[in-house]
Amino acid sequence: MSDTQPTADPVTFEYDHLDNDVDALRKSITNQLIYTVGRDQRSANSADWFFALFHAVRDRMMHRWRETLATAQDSDAKRVYYLSMEFLTGRALTNALLSVGIMDEARTACTQLGLDFDALIDLETDAGLGNGGLGRLAACFLDSMATVGVPGMGYGIRYDYGMFAQRIVHGRQVEEPDYWLVNGNPWEFMRPEFSYPVHFGGRLVQAGDDVRWVETDDVVATAYDTGVPGHELRSVATMRLWTARATSGINLDAFNKGDYMRAVEAKNASENVSRVLYPDDSTDHGKELRLRQEYFFVSASLQDIVRRFKKHQGNFDLFADRVAIHLNDTHPALAVPELMRLLVDEQRLEWDNAWNICKKVFSYTNHTLMQEALETWPVDMMGRLLPRHLRIIYDLNANFLAEVHERFPGENDLLRRVSLIDERGQRRVRMAYLSVLASHKVNGVSALHSQLMVQTIFADFARLYPERFCNKTNGITPRRWLSQANRPLAGLIDARIGTDWRRNLDELAQLRPLATDPEFVSAFQEAKAQNKRRLAERIAAETGVIVNPNSLFDVQIKRMHEYKRQLLNVLHVVTRYQQILARPHADWVPRTVVFAGKAASAYFMAKLVIKLINDVARVVNHDKRIGDKLKVVFIPNYRVSLAEVIIPAADLSEQISTAGTEASGTGNMKFALNGALTIGTWDGANIEIAENVGLEHIFIFGHRTEQVAALRASGYNPRRYYDNNYDLKTAIDRIAEGAFSPEEPGRFHDITRTLLESDYYLLLADYSDYLATQHKVDELYRNPAEWTRHAIMNVAGMGAFSSDRTIREYASEIWNVKPLFP
């Protein structure tokens, strides 16, 4: 049964075999083992039991999923379609267990069956269909849409290979393919009835005003649906991911000529479009396969949206009342010309009418100001691959530039600057400008970022269309990032203020008076200690390094990027190492500095920093003179499920990007919600975290955005800092001399040279304040009650950073949709 076929006789559900008590669950699990997995108790291995458990849980979501779809269908409500190249959902089982509310029952049922429940849970592979923040945000948003009851759907790509797995070999990153589907994905439903042809190449034939796109190479997109359960199963959102299939099973022409192998190869090639996630979020490489991916999923999604609309409504005047399409960054920006193509070429609407519909339907979120990550596509590539879309973009551009010319006659440079086509050098299509032009709302992801966005990359557009620009500060789902990841703290909070905070995070404010309650403080400390012991065990298992669970856990986990300044953290570590050696008997606060994060495979500097961290770790950790006073670990293969273990154990959260570079950050929110104190710059959402938890409960340091600009404008000279700061000079010199790479002293020359000769991200300028602030961190840590008071005040102040709040704001101020299940 599809989600659009009303049945004559409504199906009534038989719930009796889906009770949530232990007996019913145990029965379900064993039935699933036999009937779905095809094993019996005698032959089953733990993977078989995992799938059996999974299906037993999934069954208990199905009725709500069907009800969610039916309610949305019956209500004629406007729906949100969230288009995203990435959904970094991680694991689904624990989340589902908590959402259905059968965690304890499932554990008992498994124990009764003689199974190790925690080991089973640990068998699940992460769905790593994203690079980092942007993809994880999309996953939190689906969780919140399901919880808040915003009728919506996420559309993306079902990559065969997700984010690569990272191994560390001799201190260096080695990438391995992540074939996450190898054992099957028990969570998804293939929907072959929702398959659409996607065209590439070919040429245009013009007949009067009519343009036909002919002789195309086609691929078929087939839908796979995954249910995303909201809190207490209030509703279940749908994530629909597309996979590529060759149109005809094989190339018939080659087949008929008797060349069987070539026939099958062609089929393989066209299916490559959904093969692999691009693992680089730092530079726009303009690779053709990436453009194909973008168009592939956008075209399938839009055809699906138009089909669903037409099923219930023939009249496109109502399209914008029923449909909101959100562009998660510019990666789905081809949705704009694609909707124009569908409306004009296929549905035969007038151009102006179609364009007015587009402008009401689309909205767009910008996630980065980094010039090198802003997408542009060579005009000739787009013309070859998507001639119809290039033509549409040209026509839109001509109309747009005419409008600008009329409003600002004589400003010819303005026309050149805002054109959808960058005419400097090789001509390129500017995807961000296309997205802004088509969207009724464009948002940034933190207050600072949204402000900088209209002052820098979109300054001209903000002058043309000031009413379009707004801010929607990011958020995170408290279900995964507190309830699920931090059972000890969640349990403690439940005992004091009840359980409602899971869907109303503002309730955490009730913890404020408990920040000095000795009983609560010590229970809070015990929860943290428990999480730290768990992480210490994990570190020992993964790296062989033994860390002291009583040391201060200082954590920086995120993608490796120069602007995020992991290297500044390393400079602090090296300085601390030197200082401990100089004064071994001083009263040092023991620290464990934890790093994790992946580098894009071609990002030389980021990879060299990983090597540096590992080299420093090797030297420091083996230095007998240091002992417990300092340990450094790099935990390999950072991913969602690993973050769920690391974050609850952190004392200190490193959010140290150069001011003005981190659009928002969401890791910063996860740490603060779990009772870590932040050491951070005045950047992204750090600022709003500071404002919400209180400036006295956070460690802010470094140059602010205006000061960064001023410093650069005055001709920044990193040598000045190096020459004038003994500790800084020593740290850099030690690295440069090969103190951490005696077998190859020049190994980090590229790092030290860049620091001294350009230092674009101003590490040297922020070093001394960073060190002074780290000193304050030590001093506070010596006073556990005071430290914990600050930590509790952080948790208590994080209400505003629930992604439920973010989604409600998008719903009312951008999408204009009302929750269906209020």
Q: Smallest Cα–Cα separation from 604: which of 562, 646, 632?
A: 562
Instruction: List, edge to edge, every strand of the sheet that includes 188-200.
Output: 188-200, 217-229, 236-246, 152-157, 79-83, 323-328, 362-365, 441-444, 469-471
Got the DSSP string for 303-335? Answer: HHHHHHHHHH---GGGHHHHEEEEEESSTTTTH
Q: Which stretch binds ligand 26V (CB under 6 A): 112-120, 535-543, 656-664, 706-714?
A: 656-664
Got the DSSP string for 163-226? Answer: SPEEEEETTEEEEE---TTTT--TTEEEEEEEEEEEEES-EEEEETTEEEEES-EEEEEEEEEE
Output the smallest distance, CB 372 to ligand 26V, in A: 8
Q: Which stretch binds ligand 26V (CB under 6 A): 423-431, 520-528, 662-670, 752-760?
A: 662-670
Output the smallest distance, CB 735 to ligand 26V, in A: 27
666, 705, 773, 806: which is the annotated catalytic residue?
A: 666
Output the smallest distance, CB 805 to ligand 26V, in A: 15
Residue type at 587 in one-letter notation: D
- 776 part of the active site: no
Q: How many CA atoms lie within 13 A of 808 on its CB side?
A: 13
- Please pick, from the candidates 608, 642, 663, 798, the single residue that binds ligand 26V as defined by CB under 6 A: 663
Residues 128 and 130: their CA atoms lie apart, in Å, by 6
Residues 602 and 372: their CA atoms lie apart, in Å, by 14
Binding of residue 160 to ligand 26V (CB under 6 A): no
- Please pick, from the candidates 68, 84, 235, 666, the single residue that binds ligand 26V as defined by CB under 6 A: 666
Backbone angles phi, psi at 17, to 5 degrees: -85, 5
Q: By rule CB under 6 A, what string of x and - marks binding of each residue 428-467 to ligand 26V?
A: -----------------x----------------------
564, 576, 639, 789: which is the annotated catalytic residue?
A: 564
Could you tell me the two tokens for 23?
A: 């007996």
Q: 366 vs 543, which CB is nearer to ligand 26V?
A: 366
Q: Smallest Cα–Cα separation from 238: which of 225, 251, 256?
A: 225
Residues 413 and 427: their CA atoms lie apart, in Å, by 17
- 558 part of the active site: yes
26, 55, 558, 631: which is the annotated catalytic residue?
A: 558
Binding of residue 220 to ligand 26V (CB under 6 A): no
Residues 25 and 468: their CA atoms lie apart, in Å, by 51
Q: 368 vs 397, which CB is nearer to ligand 26V?
A: 368
Q: Smallest Cα–Cα separation from 369: which of 277, 275, 446?
A: 446
- 631 part of the active site: no
Question: What is the three-class DSSP state of 635?
Answer: coil
Residues 815 and 810: their CA atoms lie apart, in Å, by 6
Total interface residues for ligand 26V by CB under 6 A: 21
Q: Cα angle at 319 between 316 and 323, to 5 degrees? A: 160
Output the smallest distance, CB 373 to ligand 26V, in A: 4
Q: How many CA atoms lie within 13 A of 177 on its CB side?
A: 8
Q: 243 vs 368, which CB is nearer to ligand 26V?
A: 368
Residue type at 228 in one-letter notation: V
Binding of residue 686 to ligand 26V (CB under 6 A): no
Give the start-end residues of each E strand in 490-590.
Answer: 552-557
Residue nearest to ligand 26V (CB): 133
Binding of residue 143 to ligand 26V (CB under 6 A): no
Got the DSSP string for 28-42? Answer: HHHHHIIIII---TT
Kindly state the greatest CA–CA separation across the chain: 87
Binding of residue 474 to ligand 26V (CB under 6 A): yes
| Residue 688 neighbours by CB under 8 Å, 6+ apart | 446, 447, 473, 800, 801
Q: Smallest Cα–Cα separation from 564: which of 489, 471, 661?
A: 661
Q: 539 vs 606, which CB is nearer to ligand 26V?
A: 606
Output the smallest distance, CB 367 to ligand 26V, in A: 4
Q: 152 vs 665, which CB is nearer to ligand 26V?
A: 665
Site for ligand 26V in 344-383 (CB under 6 A): 367-368, 373, 375
Output the smallest distance, CB 132 to ligand 26V, in A: 5
Q: 217 vs 422, which CB is nearer to ligand 26V?
A: 422
Q: 676 vs 780, which CB is nearer to ligand 26V?
A: 676
Residues 650 and 551: their CA atoms lie apart, in Å, by 11
Could you tell me the two tokens for 21?
A: 């008590």
55, 367, 440, 572: which is the annotated catalytic residue?
A: 367
Secondary structure (H, E, C), 647-694:
HHHCCEEEECCCCCCCCCCCHHHHHHHCCCEEEECCCCCHHHHHHHHC
Output the smallest distance, CB 472 to ligand 26V, in A: 10
Give the start-end residues of each E strand in 564-634.
Answer: 591-596, 630-634
Q: Which stretch binds ligand 26V (CB under 6 A): 319-327, 355-363, 632-640, 663-671?
A: 663-671
58, 326, 502, 670: which is the annotated catalytic residue?
A: 670
Binding of residue 134 to ligand 26V (CB under 6 A): yes
Got the DSSP string for 352-374? Answer: HHHHHHHHHHEEEE-----GGGS
- Please pick, from the candidates 662, 688, 759, 766, the single residue that binds ligand 26V as defined by CB under 6 A: 662
Binding of residue 562 to ligand 26V (CB under 6 A): no
Say what angle helices 103-112 and 46-75 make with each other, to 10 degrees. Answer: 150
Q: 281 vs 651, which CB is nearer to ligand 26V?
A: 281
Output the smallest distance, CB 30 to ligand 26V, in A: 43
Q: 178 vs 280, which CB is nearer to ligand 26V?
A: 280
Q: 132 vs 819, which CB is nearer to ligand 26V?
A: 132
Output the smallest distance, CB 438 to ligand 26V, in A: 19
Q: 420 vs 792, which CB is nearer to ligand 26V?
A: 420
Q: Smallest Cα–Cα separation from 507: which of 487, 539, 472, 483?
A: 483
Q: 68 vs 803, which CB is nearer to ligand 26V?
A: 803
Output the smallest distance, CB 286 to ligand 26V, in A: 9
Q: By rule CB under 6 A, what string of x and - marks binding of each residue 300-319 to ligand 26V?
A: --------------------
Residues 217 and 197: their CA atoms lie apart, in Å, by 10
Instruction: List, edge to edge, every strand of the sheet that includes 677-680.
Output: 630-634, 591-596, 552-557, 652-655, 677-680, 699-700
Could you tell me the two tokens for 668?
A: 């910063």
Backbone angles phi, psi at 148, to 5 degrees: -75, -25
- Please pick, from the candidates 90, 133, 229, 549, the single residue that binds ligand 26V as defined by CB under 6 A: 133
- 440 part of the active site: no
Output the smallest distance, CB 417 to ligand 26V, in A: 22
- Please pick, from the candidates 202, 337, 549, 684, the single residue that binds ligand 26V as defined by CB under 6 A: 684
- 564 part of the active site: yes
Q: By rule CB under 6 A, what string of x and - marks binding of each residue 274-303 to ligand 26V?
A: ----x-xx--x-------------------
- 666 part of the active site: yes
441, 559, 703, 805: which is the annotated catalytic residue?
A: 559
Binding of residue 558 to ligand 26V (CB under 6 A): no
Q: Which stretch binds ligand 26V (CB under 6 A): 246-254, 310-318, 658-666, 763-771?
A: 658-666
Q: Which residues of this chain interact with ligand 26V, rule CB under 6 A?
A: 131-134, 137, 278, 280-281, 284, 367-368, 373, 375, 445, 474, 662-666, 684
Q: What is the set of active-site residues?
A: 367, 558-559, 564, 666, 670
